[in-house]
Amino acid sequence: MTGHGGNIYEASRRSGIPEEDILDFSASINPLGVPKSAADAMRAAVDSLCHYPEPYAEGLSAHLARLFKVSVDSIICGNGSAELIYLLPRALKPARALVPEPTFSEYARACTASGASDVIGHRLKWEDNFDISAEAFAKAIIEACPSGNHGRKGAGRQSQSRGMAFLCNPNNPTGRLVPRKDVLAIAEAARQQACYLVVDEAFIDFCPGGSVVKEVEKNPYLIVIRSMTKFYALSGLRIGCAVLHPEVSHKVREFKEPWTVNTLAQRAAAAAIGDAPFRKASLRAMAAEKSFVERQLRRMGISFVPSKANYYLLWLERAPEVRAALEKRGILVRGCANFAGLGPRFLRIAVRSRQENTILMEEMGKICAHLS
């Protein structure tokens, strides 16, 4: 796994700048940091580290089931959402996969690693802000996964699926959100084709009301992945979950290793997701900082994709040089040349604190002025 953001360790080795002095805008993590409730829960759990964690995070799964209002049998916890992205194709064995372009690169990699014979890209357009059309994506599912073995209405035993489609919502790296009704329309098209639709909601906490997690028990072909590492700043702990129809969940569990979610991660996640004050403070701070960042980008004449998440996709004529110059100053941004459907002129920046955002905007302005 190379080319992702957030690797301050490699950047420190490369630049000689101490890790603690690096400003990391390459990973899109809540700038408020780890919730105090989560930190307190981890400290309280230290004496439990001499014991094995619950093999399949049963306590946390029950907590999540109550939160999402689904059956506990629908929840599978993992060592970050990345483990689950690889687990699903390994367990469900799709012969073909459909992946938007651009989007998170690990979807295609996971399907290829699981033996999928064909991973088909669904190209999105810059002139449309890289928006996903429900009608076009549903048509692409029909063309990419013509199973000829259609799912039946509602839940219940499903037909054998030979296809899998991925939808990151809001999308990474564009920050564009597919409306909930459109996601459900795509999910229904997938059900009709007996094609699994995996909706990755890693950043949905920044978009309240956009989740389709409560719909999985109505559609055995809909799978939702949730992450607790972005909004709750628990990236170093690695914790996420998949929400599936119980019938599909039982099939996937046969391929799931035990003990992949450690005790600290389980306790921290349970505390964080119940922390309403932290959630409110995060949304309030993010709204203010996004407004500031957008004003600064417009002032500098930098093109960007309007985003519903805590990051922005930028277009700059000399993006590689801007990125390199920022790194020399100890500021990391995400180069996007390795996203299918993008190129070297795109960068992604996270939204962080006002002090950090001000530094980034000022330094980027100086660099762009020097290069022009």
CATH code: domain 8-34+276-371 is 3.90.1150.10
Instruction: Describe the crossing of helices 80-92 and 246-253 by its angle, rounded to 10 degrees.
Output: 90
Taking the C-alpha atoms of residue 41 and residue 265, their distance in angstroms, rounded to an integer, is: 10
Q: For position 1, what pLDDT does the model report?
A: 40
Helices (H), the chain: 8-15, 36-45, 58-68, 80-92, 106-113, 134-144, 180-192, 246-253, 263-273, 276-300, 319-328, 354-371
* Encoded tokens for 168: 């990151």
DSSP code at position 155 = S
* Encoded tokens for 78: 């993992």
Task: For residue 184, count other CB atoms closer than 10 A to its CB.
Answer: 18
Q: For position 8, what pLDDT does the model report?
A: 76
DSSP code at position 264 = H
**CA angle at 205 for the pair 202 and 208, rounded to the nearest 5°:** 135
Taking the C-alpha atoms of residue 60 and residue 79, their distance in angstroms, rounded to an integer, is: 13
C-alpha to C-alpha distances, 24 to 45, 289, 304, 321, nearest whole angstrom: 29, 16, 19, 17
Taking the C-alpha atoms of residue 36 and residue 281, their distance in angstroms, rounded to an integer, is: 13
**How many Å from the N-terminal Cα to the C-terminal Cα in the chain?**
34
- Name the residue among 303, 316, 301, 311 with its Cα closest to residue 357: 311
Q: For position 20, what pLDDT does the model report?
A: 80
How do the domains of the chain map onto residue ranges? 8-34+276-371, 36-273
314-329 b/e (C-beta count within 10 Å ≥ 16 → b): bbbeebeebbebbbeb
Q: For position 126, what pLDDT does the model report?
A: 95
Task: For residue 157, count other CB atoms closer than 10 A to its CB.
Answer: 8
Q: For position 153, what pLDDT does the model report?
A: 46
Measured in degrees and rounded to the nearest 5, phi and psi for residue 285 equal: -65, -40
* Cα torsion angle, 128, 134, 137, 143, sign: negative
Q: For position 134, what pLDDT does the model report?
A: 97
Q: Which amino acid makes up residue 163?
A: G
CATH ID of 36-273, from 3.30.565.10, 3.40.640.10, 3.40.50.2300, 3.90.650.10: 3.40.640.10
Taking the C-alpha atoms of residue 356 and residue 314, their distance in angstroms, rounded to an integer, is: 18
Taking the C-alpha atoms of residue 224 and residue 67, their distance in angstroms, rounded to an integer, is: 14
Q: Give the pLDDT of the chain (372 residues) as one tens digit per residue.
A: 456 655 777 877 777 777 788 899 999 999 999 999 999 999 999 999 999 999 999 999 999 999 999 999 999 999 999 999 999 999 999 999 999 999 999 999 999 999 988 999 999 999 999 999 999 999 999 998 876 454 444 444 555 568 999 999 999 999 999 999 999 999 999 999 999 999 999 999 999 899 999 999 999 999 999 999 999 999 999 999 999 999 999 999 999 999 999 999 999 999 999 999 999 999 999 999 999 999 999 999 999 999 999 999 999 999 999 999 999 999 999 999 989 999 999 999 999 999 999 999 999 999 999 987
Task: Name the 3-class secondary structure at 76.
Answer: strand
Residues present in the chain in total = 372
CA 95 to chain centre: 24
